[in-house]
Amino acid sequence: MKKNSYLKVHDQEILNNIKKSDGFLRYKRLPKFPSSFSTPNNLKGLYTTLRIIIGFFLLIILSPKLFSLISYWSLIFIYLFIGVYGYKIVALQHDLSHNMLFKGKKLNYFVGNICSMIVGNDFLKNIKDHYKHHIRLGNEDDPIFPQYNFNLKVNNYSFFLYLLKTITGFESIKFIINTYFKTPKKRYLPYENKKSITFNYNLRTCFRIIFIILFQLLICCLITDFGEFIFLAPIPILSIVTLSILISRIRSFVEHTSFTSTNDKNFCRSHESNFFTRFLIFECGTNYHLEHHLYPNVPYYNLPKIRRVLKKFEYFPKHSLSKSLYATFKHYFFFFLSYNKLNRDVR
């Protein structure tokens, strides 16, 4: 079989699933696309970046005005929308980690680090973890393996318990400890050209924490209108460490949990989307997830063209393209209830 030029070696497990589909059996290989598909457009990258980051800060600036008009009921809307925009920034970092928003690698890294100051994560660690996710999908050393590997046949409530730990901030606390306190002093950062660099972890972490604190102080000043609404100060941090993380975990769950009796760990699912789901969870084309794993160097705005080709020639394996986010959860709850009934019958 002649390999596709955009198909990474570390996506062979996904390719093994594709091999079972009708399209692959018929045409014996994945389709090729022009090299222009993998070339980022700086204007589109700039528009996406400004749309999300400016939207976040406009929301922060308008929050005290909204509170003065609506009073305490506005706190619910402020919490929800900051959480959604915090998640959008995390989704933006995904494309930046692939160097797919801008042509220059340094510009992608610069914007990615600015985003990390806002949401408080480590962009370079995100690059390493996401690279390893592509390599080790379905294996226990995949950094996000716990986010989609729920043994639903043993513990039907495992996913709900995981969501409870996420919305209460427990998962965020564990993430902070693992990022800033349990990471070795030297870390290796993989690039697509297989080269690695080392750096002084302690010094870099100190500077990162300082810049995160400065950005959080700026956000605190803006949302409190420089001290006039001081009780609004904890809302951005609280919203990001609970709701933003919750949305991110739900997305990982629907993307890689198969809901089948075989419990396929290498499973990957894409979704059809509408305006609501694109605003809430499928930012930056994350609903084209199978397409992204097959062509990881293609910017998100070119993935719809790839989907049209894959659908035309029936390359999607069974259950790998969901009609909607609702259909995926409906499938999950059917799976959940069927196993509950089976367990009751066995007892």
Which range has the worst mean pLDDT, 76-90, 133-147, 165-179? 165-179
Cα 222 to Cα 9, 65, 236, 276: the distances in Å are 46, 11, 11, 28
Tens digit of pLDDT for each residue in 118-130? 998 889 888 988 9
pLDDT bucket at 317, cuts 50 / 70 / 90:
confident
| E-assigned strand segments in 213-306 | 270-271
pLDDT at 83 over 80: yes
The token pair at 289 is 């997830």
- As a whole number of angstroms, the distance between CA 38 and CA 47 comes to 18
- CA–CA gap between residue 39 and residue 302 (Å, rounded): 10
Pairing, β 196-197 against β 189-190: antiparallel
Is residue 39 in a domain? yes
What is the per-residue DSSP string for 163-203? HHHHHTTHHHHHHHHHHHTSS-SS--EE-TTS-EE---HHH
- Whether 1 is in a domain gets the answer no
Any idea what the Cα angle at residue 77 is, between residues 45 and 283, rounded to 5°? 25
- The per-residue pLDDT for range 166-212, each reduced to its tens digit, is 888 888 787 777 766 655 444 444 444 444 444 445 677 788 888 99
Question: How is residue 29 written in tokens?
Answer: 């290989």
- Most confident stretch, 29-43, 76-90, 157-171: 76-90
At residue 127's C-alpha, the angle toward residues 122 and 128, to 5°, is 100
Q: Within a domain: residue 155? A: yes
> What is the extent of the structural domain holding 20?
9-346
* CA 207/CA 200 separation, integer angstroms: 11
Contact 320/269 with Cβ under 8 angstroms?
A: yes
In terms of Cα–Cα distance, which of 328, 286, 290 is closest to 309?
290
Is residue 4 a part of any domain in this protein?
A: no
Residue 3 lies in a domain: no
Considering the domain boundaries, does residue 222 fall inside one?
yes
H-helix or E-strand containing 267? none
Q: What DSSP designation does 139 have?
A: S
Helix, coil or strand: residue 321 = strand
CA atoms within 13 A on the CB side of 76: 3
Q: Rounded to 5 degrees, what angle do the CA atoms 4, 318, 327 make?
A: 120
- Residue 61's CB is within 10 A of a number of other CB atoms, namely 13
d(CA 65, CA 71): 10
In contact, 45 and 102? CB cutoff 8 Å: yes
In a domain, 261, yes or no: yes
Q: Please tell me the predicted confidence (pLDDT) of residue 53.
A: 96
CA nearest to 24, candidates 329, 318, 336: 318
207-236 pLDDT, tens digit each: 888 899 999 999 999 999 998 899 999 999
Half-sphere exposure of 143 (CA within 13 A, CB side): 14
Q: Which tokens is 209 given?
A: 């924490």
Q: Across-strand partners of 190? A: 196
Domain assignment of residue 298, yes or no: yes
End-to-end CA distance of the chain: 50
Q: pTM for this one?
A: 0.84
Contacts by 158-165 with C-beta closer than 8 Å and gap 24+?
Answer: 159/253, 159/332, 162/249, 163/246, 163/249, 163/250
Query: In the chain, how many domains are there?
Result: 1
Digit-coded pLDDT (tens) for 15-60: 666 655 555 545 557 778 888 888 999 999 999 999 999 999 999 9
- The alpha carbon of residue 39 and the mean position of all alpha carbons in its chain are separated, in whole angstroms, by 22
**46-55, 219-228, 256-265, 318-327: which range is least confident on average?**
256-265
